[in-house]
Amino acid sequence: AKAEATLAAVVRECAEKKASHEESQQVRSDELGALLQAIEILKSDDISVQGLAPSPSSLAQLRRFGVADPRARSVERARSMLSTAGARLSSPVLVEFAGRVTGPFDKVKRLIEDLIAQLMDEASAETSHKAYCDKEQGANAIALEKHTRDQERLEESVAANQARELHLAQSRSSLTEQIARDKHALEEARENRLEEHHENAKAVEEAKAAQEALKQAMTILTEFFHVAGSKSGNDVYTGQQDRAEGVLGLLEVILSDVANFQAVTESGEVMAVRQHEALVSELKTSIALAEQQVSQAQHETVRVQSEISSDAGDLHATEKRQAAAVREQEALESQCGLNGVTHKDRAAARESEI
């Protein structure tokens, strides 16, 4: 903001200096005109005596009879005009010069001619100085504008990259948490699957053992009732043949249920294995993808941090160049402003003076 204000002030001051320089040139022209008018006064009075240069004897006679020398009268008129104008306008230039307009006519003419030459030299020097000031201030204004644009661009780049760096840090943190959750879920799934597998294996083994026991029992009972039933005689005990079929039928039902339980358990184990493998594959894929994204975010963070460092260095250098341009502008203002007095102020004073 300070650089923009300085740039605007430079542009405004350049415009004012251009206008004031033109006015200053006009003032110098008017000042030269006044001096030329003084010369004309001297010339007109000289002509009034018909161009005759009085001899020393005639001048002595004129002084003897109290008659003023026409040339002295011309000098006095010129001195009086300049003195009056200097007092009215508080012009030290005209007052000082009026005090010097004394002595022989030719000396006064030389003084006026010397002052005209001096004023013309000053006007030429001021024109050259103004051209130098305009050139240097213009170039410095362009430099200030460039430094301001560069500073704004670099500040925007640093701010954008800092926001990007913060976003990447948040993304890495979120992905890291996701990876931790997925790994925990994977470990938990493995533990649960192992426990479930042990339970199923135990159940299958128990079912197999139960079936074996049932089959043996059924074999023994079948053989017993078969043998007992084959014995003859009225007093021979042949066992509870009437209930044998019911017992064997019940054992067959139990055997079938145990076999079905074994089949269901084994089928459930196969299904559990498939589900576990699918879950493990999904979790591993999620973990691998998240780890890849974390790696990419880390590489992007390094790149962004490098850009921030580079832009920060360029910004620091630009700020230094801008500060140097501001100091240069202040030096030019001091050098070209004539101790704080602008060309416009000087032109107004000269105009009043002339």
Q: Is 45 a residue whose pLDDT tops 60?
A: no
Report residue 149's pLDDT band, with 50, 70 and 90 as the boundaries: very high
- Closest Cα to residue 158, out of 306, 7, 34? 306
Name the 3-class secondary structure at 340.
coil
Name residue 320's amino acid. K
User: Over the stretch 275-333, which tens digit does the pLDDT of each residue have?
Assistant: 999 999 999 999 999 999 999 999 999 999 999 999 999 999 999 999 998 898 888 88
User: Over the stretch 176-210, which tens digit does the pLDDT of each residue have?
Assistant: 999 999 999 999 999 999 999 999 999 999 999 99
Q: Going by C-beta distance under 8 Å and a sequence separation of 6 or more, which residues neighbour residue 252?
A: 218
Per-residue pLDDT, 281: 96
Per-residue pLDDT, 209: 93
Both structure tokens of 226: 């078969």
Report residue 129's pLDDT band, with 50, 70 and 90 as the boundaries: confident
Q: Any idea which residue has 């963070």 for tokens?
A: 301
* Residues 135 and 65: beta-carbon distance below 8 Å: no
| Percent of the chain whose pLDDT exceeds 70 | 58
Q: What is the secondary structure of 117-150 as a DSSP string?
A: HHHHHHHHHHHHHHHHHHHHHHHHHHHHHHHHHH
Both structure tokens of 180: 């931790």
Name the 3-class secondary structure at 49.
coil
Q: Is 238 a residue whose pLDDT tops 50?
A: no
Give mean pLDDT, residues 151-159: 94
Both structure tokens of 350: 């000269």
- Residue 113's CB: how many other CB atoms inside 10 A? 12
Chain centroid to CA 28: how far?
49
- Rounded to whole angstroms, the maximal C-alpha distance in the chain is 210
Give mean pLDDT, residues 124-147: 83
Both structure tokens of 131: 């051209």
Chain centroid to CA 332: how far?
29
